[in-house]
Amino acid sequence: MNRKYMAEPYRIKMVEPIRETTKEERITLLKNAGYNPFSLKSDDVYIDLLTDSGTGAMSQDQWAAMMIGDEAYAGSRSFYRLESVVKNITGYEYFIPVHQGRGAEKVFLPQLVTKPGMYYISNIHFDTTRAHVELAGARALDCVVPDCYDIEHWHDFKGNMCLECLENTILEKGKDNICGVIMTITNNSAGGQPVSMENMRETKKICDKYGIKMIIDGARYAENSFFIKEREKGYQDKDIVDIARETFSYADAFLMSAKKDGLVNMGGVIAIKNDRELFDKCRTYVVPYEGFPTYGGLNGRDMDALAVGLMEALDIRYLTHRIDQVRYLGDRLHEAGVPIQYPVGGHAVFVDCKAFAPHIPYDQFPALSVTNAIYIEAGVRAVEIGSLLLGRDPDTLKNRESKMELMRLTIPRRLYTYNHLDVVADAVIHVYEHRHELKGYQFDYESKILRHFTSTFKPI
Ligand code: PLI
């Protein structure tokens, strides 16, 4: 039987109760949190769609693998098991574990910054990636395709790199001033939108032409591979793992927050295709920042859980259900007329808050306003991905205006059911019907780096 949305390809054998609060309680809780959902206690959240990072459910095989974790400081069996999986999937020679994605960024990105005034170019830098580029003394430039901003209309690969923008930027800044090109797959800030294999290939050609390294920020590479299989000509009959391998073949290095498509609660990866010198530099820096190169901030048991999780995330039945859940929520909102990034991406539904609350200007953070309203309505926690997250220009210190003001409803892996997603959809639709009542926010306290995490606000 063909179902529109695939049912869970698993049974639930352990449950975690979740608490429901009243609307009155939530009004107070949000006020006490400085109107910043990051400051809410998770116990005060009914359905937590803040992030899909480290929030998924592990499988019985992962829990079992943890029992064989070998907690040696140097050269543990767990390390070698994980290394062999990473090498098998990527086809790369070198691997270093790290505690999470930003650990990989902190160790790796400064290695390619060789002088002042350099740039990384990405389809869109994720926020921590941008922060680490800037902390390393370089600047982050984004070159996503214009389709990305055509929110209402279907484009198969809205996450793609704009090749013209990429080449023009290299020529304008000078190839010797480009540290590297970072391809974020899927493109989180564009709405979890996929990047096509063709785009990977063409981007690599441009990188090779100018002698620039290409790096994959592959937190969600398995989901990206799924979209390539679904949408790109010639890939329908290929296995997901082969699509992933071809993807990696077009890059020189792979940085991963394994908290997403690694299906673990903590972990990260640096993998380098064949540049021994770069590997040695990263190995040197991983020691003071993360830990010895055979554990990089992880327990042996974490590495074993990741070794299993990486393979589970490439399973087509797992991926079909995963993407169907996101599609289900997207379809419910789309059918009700709520403006969303369409089609939905791999890990979240991104609500277009510029269209949702056009009366709130960018520097009063329309997506924060919608996010706070759905928390009050139903105890659902989402996250702002817009001008608040983009932060200030590091040189002029002016508020940067994001091209899109999005609220991300991020779906953790294997955690919630379709019924939970109905609660979310009903809340968002309710707030949409009362959208004219929404108000903007101003800072009460603004933190200097990655301000969206710890700042506090006042309603205007
Ligand atoms: O949260 P980390 O440090 O494990 O990973 C940082 C990171 C790097 N790249 C990309 C594309 C990410 O999405 C990412 C983290 N994302 C988070 C936390 C999110 O909520 O989307």
Read out DSSP for 343-402? S--SSEEEEEHHHH-TTS-GGG-HHHHHHHHHHHHHSEE-EEESHHHH-B-TTT-PBPPP
Q: How far apart are CA 213 and CA 252, in angstroms?
A: 6
What does the pLDDT look like over 395-408, one tens digit per residue?
A: 898 999 999 999 99
Indicate the pairing of strand 406-410 with strand 348-352.
antiparallel
What integer pLDDT is reported at residue 415 of this predicted model? 98
Asked if residue 259 has its Cβ within 6 Å of ligand 1, the reply is yes
How far does residue 5's CA lie from ligand 1's centre (Å)?
A: 27
Residues of the chain with pLDDT under 70: 1
Residue 234 pLDDT: 98
Report d(CA 5, CA 250) in Å as an integer: 33
| CA atoms of 175 and 125, how far apart (whole Å) | 19
Question: Please, what is the average pLDDT of the chain?
Answer: 97
Q: How far is the CA of 3 from the centre of ligand 1 (A)?
A: 32
CA of 184 to the centre of ligand 1 (A): 10
Rounded to whole angstroms, how far apart are CA atoms 266 and 291?
Answer: 15
Fold (CATH) for 23-52+315-459: Aspartate Aminotransferase, domain 1 (3.90.1150)
How many other CB atoms are found less than 10 A from the CB of residue 273?
Answer: 19
Who contacts 85 (Cβ-Cβ below 8 Å, separation ≥6)? 306, 307, 310, 311
CA distance 328 to 325: 5
Q: Which helix (H) or strand (E) holds 52?
A: none
Q: Is 50 in the pocket of ligand 1 (CB under 6 A)?
A: no
**Domain residue limits, the chain:** 23-52+315-459, 60-312
Indicate if ligand 1 lies below 6 Å from the C-beta of 184.
yes
CB of 187 closer than 6 angstroms to any ligand 1 atom: no
Ligand 1: distance of its center to the CA of 243 in Å?
Answer: 22
Q: Which of 53, 99, 195 to probe ligand 1 with, by most ligand atoms within 8 A of CB? A: 53
Model confidence, pTM = 0.96
Q: What is the DSSP letter of 14?
A: S
Give the CATH architecture of domain 60-312. Answer: 3-Layer(aba) Sandwich (3.40)
Looking at residue 2, its pLDDT comes to 77
Q: What is the DSSP letter of 272?
A: E
Ligand 1 atom closest to Cα of residue 268: 4
Query: What is the pLDDT at residue 1?
Result: 66
Burial of 144 (0-12, 13-18, 19+ CB in 10 A): buried
Interaxial angle between packed helices 197-210 and 163-173, expressed in degrees from 0 to 180 and rounded to the nearest 10: 20
Q: 300: helix, coil or strand? A: helix
Using the atom order of ligand 1, give the atom closest to the CA of residue 52: 20
pLDDT of residue 41: 98
How would you class 181 by CB atoms within 10 Å of its CB: exposed for 0-12, middle for 13-18, buried for 19 or more?
A: buried
Rounded CA gap, 128 and 133, in Å?
9
- Evaluate whether 124 touches 103 at the Cβ level (below 8 Å): no
Phi-psi region of 40 (alpha: psi -120 to 50; beta: other; left: phi over 0): beta
Q: Does residue 51 line the site of ligand 1, with CB under 6 A?
A: yes
Q: How far apart are CA 37 and CA 39, in angstroms?
A: 5
- 189: Cβ below 6 Å to ligand 1? no
1 contact partners, CB below 8 Å, separation of at least 6: none
Give the integer Cα–Cα distance in Å for 257 and 119: 22
The pLDDT value recorded for residue 450 is 84
Report the pLDDT value the prediction gives residue 244, as an integer from 0 to 100: 98
Residue 304 · residue 81 · CB < 8 Å: yes
Tracing tokens 């691997």 back to the chain, one arrives at 95
The catalytic site residues sit at 73, 126-127, 217, 219, 260, 452
Q: In this predicted structure, what is the pLDDT of residue 448? A: 86
